[in-house]
A and B are shown apart, each in its own frame.
Chain A
Amino acid sequence: MKLKESVVAIRKISQVALLGMGMMTLPLANADESSCSPFTPLVKGQEDFVYVWTLGVKGIGDESDKLVTVDVNPKSKAYGKVIAKTSVGGRGEAHHMGFTDDRKFMWAGALDSNKIFIFDVATNPAKPKLVKTINNFVPKTGLVGPHTFYATPGRMVVAALSNAKDHGGQTGLAVYTNAGEHVATYPMPTTNGGDGFGYDVAINPNKNAMLTTAFTGWNNYMADLGKLVKDPEAMKQFGNTTVMWDYKSMKPLKIFNTPGAALEARWSFKPGDNWAVTTTALTSNIFVYKQDDKGEWQQHKVGTIGDPAKIPLPVDIALIPDGKGMWVNTFMDGTTRFWDMTDPLNPKETYTKKIGSQVNMVSPSFDGTRVYYTTSLLGNWDMKGKADEQFLKMYHWDGKELKPGFEIDFYKEKLGRAHHMKFQVRDLKTLQPLQATVESKTKFASN
């Protein structure tokens, strides 16, 4: 063996050893980057772009749903400006997005039209290109309202909200290949205490565990919020369960009673942590999921957000990288709240700030120092008239206070309602490697 070769060999060995160590500590990435799947490489430094999935509004600009790209790199001349927009046609209730496991493509869903738009965000990240529209979601799955797009190796898990027979809350999960081919559909459980409702999905590969939450069907999420809350029958049609699944076999392990529509599901991404968190929209509670000594998943009600009697509607949540904190937005009062999660079973609210007349999504950068907010919850749940502010706002967070960075008024810019955000970098080579281990990646490759 020549010297050069042996150096390479040593390097290889040390790489393998490092990987092995990675496997032992099993770090699980889930910053917001926080809603990203652990199978997706992350932006750990300065994000260059924020993509905002924007709902078309009658009377505003081209009235069409669109993907808006904002330059967010402070070194850039276009910092804080919209640099691209791609209209996809129609008003289909644009909602959430998710990257494929290589972060080269981004899936963006519409809860009414049931279309799924696949954007190429790698060839030119500054100008995403619509490369495919999945228009057979309903005929393939019978489901309505493709909500969450969660990457697994070579696959996309799509969690839906409703169904095409009655637009009620009975729904399921669908699995697609990265190329957009339907693979399988799994109904949300309706036995052993399951109520068949669905919303979000989050996977912990280290524990082979998948947590799903439960919202409501088309009849409710598309309806005017004022009409809905005054209809007692409709108010019965919200999910009151969460489900821990065996991810590999896609079988429910345990069904929890989680009253009042649990929305976003997040796993802590701190190495060694294996707990998940969700909040309930109607009852304003925080629930944490942890295994007990016997390895059985248990649900703990650990906190109350705002005054639940006033129905503040906690909506998006985001964990920060060290698992020590969580942002929670309450829609009705437009307020963001920071919760100290150092002890996840005894979290404490330590900071609140009003962001606007309404606020839905919150996305902190990986290091937590930048926090982005958008406003839209659902086309017909958003405030009406003057209170219907629609913006993207960026703040700096020093651990104590949010200080304004930049702001884009989505109505002034004739864009529409600002909803889900995703970060991207100009140079995809700077993305950090998978946080889920190589082992777990290969283990789940067949799903």
Chain B
Amino acid sequence: MRVIFYLFILFMIVAVLYMAVALLNKSGNTYEPYSKEDALGLPAMTIPEDNPLTAEKVALGRKLFMDRRLSQNNTISCAMCHVPEQGFVVNEIATAVGLEGRTHKRNAPTIFNVGYYKHLFHDGREFSLENQIIGPLLAENEMGNPSIGFVIEKINSFPDYQGLFEQAFDGQKANLERVNLAIASYERTMVSGNSRFDQWYFGKNEKALNEREINGFRLFSGKANCISCHTINKDSALFTDQSFHNTGAGWSRNNKVLSNLVKKEASKHTFPVSLAPGITVEVANDHFDKASETPKNDVGRFEVTSNPDDSWLYKTPSLRNIELTAPYMHDGSLRTLESVVDFYNVGGEDNPYKDQRMVPLGLTQEEKADLVAFMNALTGSNVKRLEKEAREAYFEAPVP
């Protein structure tokens, strides 16, 4: 009798555990979008309580991210400006080109590790990935949708989405919130650590970096003081202090060029145009003016806060996968890591608001090369897989 009672208790315990596991499974808590190894060197990510990661949501978010039909005229997906094979940026242009070729004044940042940022966009105007998505969907110079309803109705009408939102969201159809939840979920899985630096620094594998790269790290955290903004902590490294600084990048373009050069004088100044490999001509500054729209001004974080102290402050970007995400800075004005190091070596660009840490560094040619070598060792081990998964979700259908 007693034996039976104990057996019954045991059975109940097992049953409760089983149900608990099943429940957990259903809410997706056991879904692991990336391995512990992929995240070596990265902190735990905060996942919003109301948007837990699930396999269905992430797959749906990835499909939406790759889908050109999400733009007004079916030509621009998120991935046309965040191209998987180009480090989830566009390597070939300084600043983005949007719907109907409209000019974007800023350089598209990567979405690798974007789930760790406290602020989004170069000026930090957005705080959550969920909200961020509304920006590009509606921006006239990005995906140019006339309204949110327009794009939602469209998604709901596509046969290839039949059932996908329902699967990911308890039987519910697409709406703005669920599009945001899905794309944000996908973006949070773009975790890319386990670089050779991580293996060396956090994984204690002495051979993961060579002498040059190790010296680069020493400079980064010592003489060059990059670490004061591109943070490395004891247990993890995001290479950003999640803050905003004025390095001077873009300052003169917005000030000197526009205000100091009177129209008459402009033709006396020239700029180089490369016509073909090895063929460069100097062209008068105003030669193309008639065929140019007026370049847009950019005042950085001031545009968000209206605080003059925030003029030309930009978010410190992470440096992970930096070798894949050229060109650099908010305006794409620096094309190589070498030119970025040269920029810092002279103390950035002088201006009245410049961060005090931006001082001439006195780096030798060797030291500059070492710094670049170090930055080239920050590439995640799963980059190819993330690229491939994104491309596999790409799909083209006839357009209306």
Residues of A within 8 A of B (CB): 90-93, 112-115, 135-136, 138-139, 142, 144, 164-168, 217-227, 229-238, 240, 259-261, 280, 282-283, 308-311, 332, 357-358, 379-385, 387
B277 touches A112 (CB 8 A): no
Known: A92-B73, A235-B273, A381-B291. A259 touches B279 (CB 8 A): yes
Write out the residue numbers on chain A whose beta carbons fall within 8 Å of the beta carbon of B90. 166-167, 219
11 CB-based A-B contacts, threshold 8 Å: A139-B396, A165-B85, A166-B90, A218-B97, A219-B93, A231-B94, A234-B94, A238-B276, A311-B281, A311-B283, A387-B290
> 1/0 contact trace for B359-397 toward A, CB 8 Å?
000000000000000000000000000000001001011
Shortest beta-carbon distance from A240 to chain B in Å: 5
Q: Does B271 contact A (CB under 8 A)?
A: yes
Write out the residue numbers on chain A whose beta carbons fall within 8 Å of the beta carbon of B103. 223-224, 227
A233 touches B93 (CB 8 A): yes
Write out the residue numbers on chain B whose beta carbons fall within 8 Å of the beta carbon of A384. 290-293
A135 touches B399 (CB 8 A): yes
Q: Does B4 contact A (CB under 8 A)?
A: no
Interface centre among B290, B327, B335 (most CB of A within 10 A): B290
Instruction: Tell me, in angstroms, the Cα distance from A229 to B283 when the chains sit together.
Output: 10
B83 touches A166 (CB 8 A): yes
Q: Which of A90, A260, A357, A358 contacts B275 (CB 8 A)?
A: A260
Shortest beta-carbon distance from B139 to chain A in Å: 16
A260 touches B289 (CB 8 A): no
Write out the residue numbers on chain B whose beta carbons fall within 8 Å of the beta carbon of A381. 291
Q: Does B75 contact A (CB under 8 A)?
A: yes
Known: A166-B86, A224-B103, A282-B276. A229 touches B288 (CB 8 A): yes
B274 touches A236 (CB 8 A): yes
B75 touches A226 (CB 8 A): no
Q: Does B95 contact A (CB under 8 A)?
A: yes
Closest to B253 in A: A230
A226 touches B291 (CB 8 A): yes
A311 touches B287 (CB 8 A): yes
Q: Does B100 contact A (CB under 8 A)?
A: yes
Shortest beta-carbon distance from A345 to chain B in Å: 22
Instruction: Tell me, in angstroms, the Cα distance from A259 to B280 when the chains sit together.
Output: 12
Write out the residue numbers on chain B whose beta carbons fall within 8 Å of the beta carbon of A138. 396, 399
Write out the residue numbers on chain B whose beta carbons fall within 8 Å of the beta carbon of A385. 290
Closest to A237 in B: B92
Q: Which of A136, A224, A311, A379 contacts B292 (CB 8 A)?
A: A224
A382 touches B291 (CB 8 A): yes
Residues of B within 8 A of A (CB): 68, 73-75, 80, 83, 85-86, 90-95, 97, 100-101, 103, 271-279, 281-283, 287-293, 295, 326-327, 332, 335, 391, 394, 396-400
A226 touches B295 (CB 8 A): yes
Interface centre among B91, B92, B278 (most CB of A within 10 A): B92
Known: A224-B293, A226-B293, A232-B335. A113 touches B74 (CB 8 A): yes
Instruction: Tell me, in angstroms, the Cα distance from A136 to B277 when the chains sit together.
Output: 36
Write out the residue numbers on chain A whose beta carbons fall within 8 Å of the beta carbon of B273. 229, 235, 311
Q: Which of B92, B271, B279 contacts A168 (CB 8 A)?
A: B92
B288 touches A223 (CB 8 A): no
Shortest beta-carbon distance from B396 to chain A in Å: 4
Shortest beta-carbon distance from B370 to chain A in Å: 25
Known: A222-B97, A232-B335, A384-B293. A259 touches B80 (CB 8 A): no
Shortest beta-carbon distance from A225 to chain B in Å: 4
Instruction: Tell me, in angstroms, the Cα distance from A90 to B75 when the chains sit together.
Output: 13
Write out the residue numbers on chain B whose beta carbons fall within 8 Å of the beta carbon of A219. 90, 92-93, 97
Write out the residue numbers on chain B whose beta carbons fall within 8 Å of the beta carbon of A218. 97
Instruction: Tell me, in angstroms, the Cα distance from A167 to B100 when the chains sit together.
Output: 13
Shortest beta-carbon distance from B391 to chain A in Å: 8
With A223-B93, A229-B283, A379-B101 known, 13 other A-B pairs at CB within 8 A are: A136-B398, A139-B396, A218-B97, A225-B288, A226-B295, A231-B95, A240-B277, A308-B275, A309-B282, A309-B283, A311-B275, A332-B291, A357-B290
B73 touches A113 (CB 8 A): yes
A233 touches B399 (CB 8 A): no
Instruction: Tell me, in angstroms, the Cα distance from A112 to B100 when the chains sit together.
Output: 7
Write out the residue numbers on chain A whose beta carbons fall within 8 Å of the beta carbon of B68. 164
Instruction: Tell me, in angstroms, the Cα distance from A168 to B275 when the chains sit together.
Output: 17
A310 touches B283 (CB 8 A): yes
Instruction: Tell me, in angstroms, the Cα distance from A217 to B90 when the chains sit together.
Output: 13
Instruction: Tell me, in angstroms, the Cα distance from A212 to B272 when the chains sit together.
Output: 29
Closest to B83 in A: A166
Instruction: Tell me, in angstroms, the Cα distance from A112 to B101 when the chains sit together.
Output: 9
Closest to A381 in B: B291
Q: Which 7 A-B pairs have the closest CB atoms?
A: A226-B292, A222-B101, A259-B276, A139-B396, A136-B398, A282-B275, A260-B276
Write out the residue numbers on chain A whose beta carbons fall within 8 Å of the beta carbon of B295. 226-227
Q: Which of A92, A168, A227, A358 contacts B95 (CB 8 A)?
A: A227
